[in-house]
Amino acid sequence: MWFLLIAFLSGPVSSETLANGAYADLRAGRYDSAVAQFRLALSLDPTPVRIRKDLAYTLLKRGDRDEARDEFERVFATSPADEQAGLEYAFLCYETGRTQAARRIFSRLKNSADLSVQVSAARAFASVDALLQEGIARWSEAVRLAPRQWSAHEELARLAESADQLPLAAEHYEMAWRLRPSQDNLLIDLARVWIALGDGQKARGAIALAWRAGPPRVAEAAREMLHGAVPDPGEASLAPPGPLPRDILAAPPLPALEMAERSLASSYVQDAYRFFRIAHEENPADAGVAYKLGLTSNLLHQDREALRWFDLARKSPEPSIANQASAAYETLAPRFRRFSFNVWGIPFYSSRWNGVFLYGQAKAEWHPARSIFTPYLAARLVGDTSGQRVGMPAGLQLLSENSVIAAAGLRARISTHLFAWAEAGQAYNYHGGQYGTPRFQPDYRGGLSALKGWGRLLGTAQAGLFHETNADGVYASRFRNDMLLYLQNRSGYTFARSGGGWQAQAYAAWNLTLDRRGEYWGNFIEGGAGFRVVMPGLPSGVSFRTELVRGAHLQNKANPWGPNYWDFRTGMWYAFSH
């Protein structure tokens, strides 16, 4: 914007001067400033199509799809030969819910002389039209099965209008309104279609009725369609609610809940959500409907809304619904909590070292809204009971760190299963001084962590195959600024949960550890078999694990233990989160 300020101080500013400043800001990535200057330039001279088109692309870079769509529409209206702008406009129409406009533009451009435009438009038209025709067929079947379901008629009418099947749209908008006359907004929809069909008299009657009978929002829409004119009192009688056809009157009403169940069973999740909402309006006390609304919201990736429905359903007096809803709520809730606290611990015995090891951590996290970053405070314990030492070229090192580490860190979610983290802290070594190691040491760590599971994981009720992969890349300042890679895999079979709450897994384990410095203790591979079990009566985060593995060191310089080893290890995993 400094360019703009200097230009103003130096005298009158031209549209071209402002555009030049906008392009300078655009090259520097200052999109807000570029948009402001493009708009000022166009306010002085609205004719340059190039500037308006670049404004549209800048808005798109900034993420303002609605505004970008409107600018591309103006470009295409003033320059119909600019078919690339027309394509951009059509795609943005489709992305912002203006399906009818998108379909019409794609239909027009699929006959373009420009082969690239022709191919893109033809593919897009075929895709959009196929989705509309599939939806029309589906909802035609829905109104056949439930002819008294007004919302099904409305959905069919909207799809038919988007596909330019206007007589079909008019028929079902009218049917929806006659079934539910309180939905005055349907009169506006009906009038719009009648206008497109050239039936101005019917359209004016519907608009007049909406203007006189509708709520303020509907009346305002009717006023806009009448361009401010006030209709005569008699005009509203042109659209009276007429009698319903006999086949509809004779048809028993199909409950919205049944329509929702049928839609969900056929994987029409949007349709199921719509009917579950209607079913909830009809019976707000039905916790089962609230639970299923949570499920469909979750399938539609509307997790915050799903959480609200699960919260409502978990208060149900029916134990089965309350338990299922509570489990779903507890699974989703951590994503939306601003603060969370979690603890995990892994005590286990190792035959190789003839000792018990303990790895544990307590962590408090703050989850800012709309941010991938999570600041945290952590206290970690890494220790063993053996007291053994490992000989290394650089001196003596304890078998484990034997430390309590307090740290502050930052975690960033890169994707659902991948996280980056970094922390700085202070380690207290409770064997400090005994082996010549300092009692207090600074501790800096960071890295990437990925965890992914496939198949029937522990905790699912069904039996089946599963696989888990846990990969960690870690930098640790206390290990002479070393960088380590841990890759742990378990592949096996999960047994079905018993009626008493028992569940087990049998699996093959195969692990790999590598480090940047080539230390023998940081380069080895393991393979073996394991068994994991969950027992009834214990907290949900507790499981027991036993493994027998054969290992081989990949680096053996200064290795006092030999290149190969057997290790039987057994222990417990405990995790708690709130």
Residue 162 near residue 103, CB atoms below 8 Å: yes
Q: What is the rounded distance in angstroms from the CA atom of residue 554 to the CA atom of residue 512?
A: 10
Beta pairing partners, 527? 510, 550
Residues 512 and 542 in one domain: yes
Choose between 485 and 25: higher pLDDT. Answer: 485
**513 confidence band (pLDDT: 50, 70, 90):** very high
Q: By the 8 A CB rule, do 306 and 313 touch?
A: no
In percent, the amount of the chain with pLDDT more than 90 equals 33
- Mean pLDDT in residue range 113-131: 91
How far is Cα of residue 162 from the mean position of the Cα atoms in its chain? 27
Asked whether residue 298 carries a pLDDT value surpassing 60, the answer given is yes
Cα–Cα distance measured from residue 532 to residue 333, given in angstroms and rounded to the nearest whole number: 27
Specify whether 300 is located in the same domain as 350.
no
Q: Does residue 155 have a pLDDT over 80?
A: yes
Q: Considering 335, 352, 384, which residue would you say is the last residue of a domain?
A: 335
Residues 449 and 526 in one domain: yes
Instruction: Identify which has the larger pLDDT, 379 or 27.
Output: 379
pLDDT of residue 246: 52
284 belongs to a structural domain = yes
Residues pairing with 467 in the sheet: 454, 491
In DSSP notation, 327-394 reads HHHHHHGGGT-SEEEEEEEEEEEETTTTEEEEEEEEEEEE--TT-SEEEEEEEEEEEESS--EEEETT
| CATH number for 230 | 1.25.40.10
Residue 403 confidence (pLDDT) above 80: yes
- Strand, helix or coil at 396? strand
- Residue 397 and residue 323 share a domain: no
- The answer to the question of residue 349 being in a domain is yes
The per-residue pLDDT for 392 is: 38
pLDDT at 1 over 50: no
Q: What is the mean pLDDT of the chain?
A: 83
260 and 392 belong to one structural domain = no
Q: How confident is the model at residue 150 (pLDDT cuts 50, 70, 90)?
A: confident
Reply yes or no on whether the pLDDT at 551 is more than 90. yes
Instruction: Please give the residue range of the domain that contains residue 202.
Output: 146-250
0.75 exceeded by pTM: no
Predicted confidence at residue 233, as pLDDT, reads 57
| pLDDT band with cut points at 50, 70 and 90 for residue 230 | low
Residues 495 and 385 in one domain: yes
User: Using CB atoms within 10 A of its CB, is residue 433 exposed (0-12), middle (13-18) or buried (19+)?
Assistant: exposed
Does the structure show a pLDDT above 50 at 397? no
Kindly report, residue by residue over 257-275, the tens digit of the pLDDT: 777 777 777 667 777 888 8
Residues across the chain: 578
Same domain, 261 and 354: no
- Whether residue 81 is contained in a domain is answered as no
Q: Give 235-303 as a DSSP string.
A: GGGGS---PPPHHHHHSPPPPHHHHHHHHHHTT-HHHHHHHHHHHHHH-TT-HHHHHHHHHHHHHTT-H
pLDDT tens track for 534-545: 888 777 778 999
**Cα–Cα distance measured from residue 445 to residue 422, given in angstroms and rounded to the nearest whole number:** 6
CA distance 215 to 345: 60
**Element at 129 (helix H, strand E):** helix 115-145
The angle at the Cα of 404, spanning 400 to 409, to the nearest 5 degrees, equals 110
Same structural domain, 508 and 538: yes
Q: Contact at 8 Å (CB) between 294 and 316?
A: no
d(CA 309, CA 329): 9
Rounded to a whole number of angstroms, the CA Rg of the chain reads 33
507 in a structural domain: yes
Residue 527 reports pLDDT greater than 90: yes
Q: Is 88 inside any structural domain?
A: no
Least confident span in 277-286, 300-309, 388-397: 388-397
Q: What is the pLDDT of residue 332?
A: 82
pLDDT of residue 47: 86
Q: How many CB atoms lie within 10 A of CB 471?
A: 17
Band of pLDDT at residue 2, cut at 50, 70 and 90:
very low
Q: 486 in a domain, yes or no?
A: yes
- Give the sign of the dihedral formed by CA 241, CA 242, CA 245, CA 251: positive
Q: Do 512 and 497 fall into the same domain?
A: yes
3-state secondary structure of 434: coil
Give the pLDDT score at 532.
94
Measured distance CA(202)–CA(205) in Å, rounded = 5
Strand partners, 446: 422, 475
Q: Are residues 245 and 262 in the same domain?
A: no
Give the integer Cα–Cα distance in Å for 195 and 417: 52
Task: Compute CA distances 123 → 37, 86, 109, 129, 378, whole Å.
Answer: 36, 15, 11, 10, 53
Mean pLDDT over residues 47-61, rounded? Answer: 89
Give the whole-angstrom CA distance, residue 346 versus residue 326.
27
Q: In the 8-state DSSP scheme, what is residue 458?
A: B
pLDDT band at 10 (very low <50, low <70, confident <90, very high): very low
| Domain of residue 397, CATH code | 2.40.128
Cβ neighbours around 413 below 10 Å, total:
13
Domain boundary among 228, 250, 272: 250
> Considering 234, 250, 266, which residue would you say is the last residue of a domain?
250
- When divided into structural domains, the chain yields a total of 3
239 pLDDT more than 60: no
Q: Rounded to whole angstroms, how far apart are CA atoms 113 and 37? A: 35
Task: Report which residue type is found at 60.
Answer: L
**pLDDT value for 426:** 93
Q: Does residue 265 lie in a domain region? A: yes
Q: How confident is the model at residue 242 (pLDDT cuts 50, 70, 90)?
A: low
What angle, rounded to 10 degrees, do the helices at 65-78 and 49-62 form?
Answer: 160
Of the candidates 261, 518, 542, the one whose C-alpha atom is nearest the C-alpha of residue 392 is 518
| Cα of 554 vs its chain's centroid, Å | 42
Among 358-367, 495-504, 515-524, which is the least confidently predicted range?
495-504
The answer to which of 27-41, 116-130, 376-390, 512-526 has the lowest mean pLDDT is: 376-390
Alpha carbons 205 and 225: distance in angstroms, whole number? 12
Task: Give the integer Cα–Cα distance in Å for 82 and 47.
Answer: 15
* pLDDT 10s digits, 57-76: 999 888 888 999 999 999 99
Per-residue three-class SS string for 179-227 = HCCCCCHHHHHHHHHHHHCCCHHHHHHHHHHHHHHCCHHHHHHHHHHCC
For residue 421, what pLDDT is reported? 94
Instruction: Kindly state whether residues 422 and 509 are assigned to the same domain.
Output: yes
Query: Average pLDDT, stretch 83-101?
Result: 90
pLDDT in tens, 452-488: 888 888 777 678 999 999 999 999 998 889 999 999 9
**Assigned token pair, 420:** 């980056």
> Any bridge partners for residue 348, and if so which?
357, 571
Residue 215 has pLDDT above 60, yes or no: yes
- Mean pLDDT, residues 22-36: 85
Kindly state the percentage of the chain with pLDDT values over 70: 88
Evaluate whether residue 422 is within a structural domain: yes
pLDDT at 398: 45
Same domain, yes or no, for 461 and 558?
Answer: yes
